Structure 1
């Protein structure tokens, strides 16, 4: 493992070997570039992948960096931006719902509720009902 040095694990070197190609796209007659989503903070990607529109917008702004203000000057219709995000996911080898941190359901962390009463088939009433007993027939007399 080349990243292991006398001082420990060199994450900088390991990460440099893992970098993927950027995602290029054209919008409003201009070419733009976004980093591969594996280069992104996984927390941002997970929120955006939940289709949180504000998180998608923030991911695009972060990815565009210094060019974000220029991009913001162009119209950004929701369907177009969702197509862009889907294409960015696809380029990064992910499908919607597969971003890091969004691996589907997780086990419940809720503890069972404490039992509030004991099981019983007997009535809790102190005295029997005083209501008249019905006869088996429902026909009018």
Structure 2
């Protein structure tokens, strides 16, 4: 009899390190993107994220830090770069699994 795949174990073991960054001298931290809730997939286009999609992902990632982050003026280009650096920190683009190599 085979053992069922335990997704809870996979979630615990797959965690990566948070992504720290500063803005206006304030330290913020984004979680590993894989820890964000799957509900976000219904709200954003990960293949070609718009400015609104990026804001939605950052807001979800920053959680309780969002109000402080949101009060600091930031150019849109800087938000795009923050998003790219977060993806780079993850090692793969958001929405792509390192296991999907045969596509």
**Corresponding residue of 1:74:** 72
TM-score by length of 2: 0.76
Bigger helix share: 2
Secondary structure (helix, strand or coil) at the match of 1:26 reads: strand
Q: Which runs of 5+ in 2 are unaligned?
A: none
> Deviations 1:21-76 (Å, cap 9, x if unpaired)?
01011111111000111222372796245131101001001000111111110012
**Corresponding residue of 1:32:** 28
**Corresponding residue of 2:53:** 55
TM-score by length of 1: 0.57
**Contact 2:44–2:56 (8 Å) recurs in 1:** no
* Inter-CA distance 62–12: structure 2 relative to 1 (3 Å threshold): same
Q: Which has the higher contact order (CA 8 A, sep 6+)?
A: 2
Calculate the aligned-residue CA RMSD, in Å.
2.6
Q: Larger radius of gyration, structure 1 or 2?
A: 1
**Corresponding residue of 1:10:** 6
